Amino acid sequence: MERIGSVHQPLREVPAPADPTWEQLLPQMGRWALDVAFVWRAVLTLGLVLLYYCFSIGITFYNKWLTKSFHFPLFMTMLHLAVIFLFSALSRALVQCSSHRARVVLSWTDYLRRVAPTALATALDVGLSNWSFLYITVSLYTMTKSSAVLFILIFSLIFKLEELRAALVLVVLLIAGGLFMFTYKSTQFNMEGFALVLGASFIGGIRWTLTQILLQKADLGLQNPIDTMFHLQPLMFLGLFPLFAIFEGLHLSTSEKIFRFQDTGLLLRVLGSLFLGGILAFGLGFSEFLLVSRTSSLTLSIAGIFKEVCTLLLAAHLLGDQISLLNWLGFALCLSGISLHVALKALHSRGDGDPKPSKGLGSSPDLELLLRSSQPEEGDNEAAEEDFVAQG
């Protein structure tokens, strides 16, 4: 018998998949890098917004809390100005040491002629705002200060920084109508405090207009926020001093909390509380600068709108502010006017396609300084990218 042997067929080797080429990997790596960059930018923006909220909302509630026991808001404001000047001078010195470039120092002529009007208006705005905390609630303060956009638009039209358009008229009507609805039959309404904060908002309209004009003068070199704060604070202090001397000077000189103290521990606690408020005021301006320089002024404007909502909710929950349905509707109407103003500015800026700052003013009226995020290099004449308003 023939033995039928099995023939072993040689195994065929399955070819291994070819390694991906660089041409194939690059698109995937690019998409991955874009995803990581997007997530990082989102996290950074959220962190900066939260930092801004902490300082902005924090200083509002802190000043309200402090004025309950320390009834000298003008002195408190002056001490805040001194702290801001101290920190801005220290920041200028550190930047100068690291960059080996001298910071701008204005001549006395430019300082008194160009900076003094802006400093005086800013001092009155901040001083009257803090003074109003003696009489009104945080919710009424927040709502009334939001109406500063109304005065900013009016003075922008007067100084021809804005062109009269039907949309701006609608913005004015929405904000004014919202303010009326919020204050109408309010159970915690105080006329004296309302007059103070409304006067501060009116002066704020002049303040932001003058600041806009001041910072558009490139020859002054005040585009950097630290330089702006450094030059404004001394004149703000001097501008607020006569008001302090008339209304608080005598009472403060006889108060046991400061000059006629008997308890050293109480004096240190009071001074520490005032100094902490100054740190919050400086941190607010610096956090706004970081937010705008890393994102845009539109981000700050939108964040400012939601900040007002958070402030009112916290005031109702923590301080027991009574807000009726009509008040909430008025607040919503006012915010819709502010939102429309922000949207119009964004569309106008995008339509121009010009990297130079627009002529319009910022949309966050409760901020302390109108700043720019440009940092010109040597030999370059770069324009400032964004304008924004910083709160005190």
To the question of pTM greater than 0.85 for the whole model, the response is no
Both tokens of 123, joined, read 């001092």
Both tokens of 89, joined, read 């001078």
Residue 283 to residues 74, 175, 205, Cα–Cα distance (Å): 20, 29, 23
The residue among 26, 40, 57 whose CA lies nearest residue 309 is: 57
pLDDT for 356: 41
Please report where in the chains the tokens 């874009």 appear, as a residue: 34
In sequence order, which residues have a C-beta less than 8 Å from that of residue 202 and are 6 or more positions away?
151
Written as tens digits, the pLDDT of the chain (392 aa) is: 445 555 555 555 555 555 556 555 566 666 666 667 777 888 888 888 889 889 999 999 999 999 998 999 999 999 999 999 999 999 999 988 988 888 888 889 888 988 899 899 999 999 999 999 999 999 889 888 887 778 878 877 887 777 788 888 888 888 888 888 887 766 678 889 999 999 998 898 888 778 777 777 767 777 777 888 899 999 999 999 999 999 999 898 888 888 888 888 888 999 999 999 999 999 988 887 777 767 766 677 778 878 888 888 899 888 888 888 888 898 888 888 888 888 887 777 666 554 444 333 333 433 333 333 333 333 333 333 333 333 34
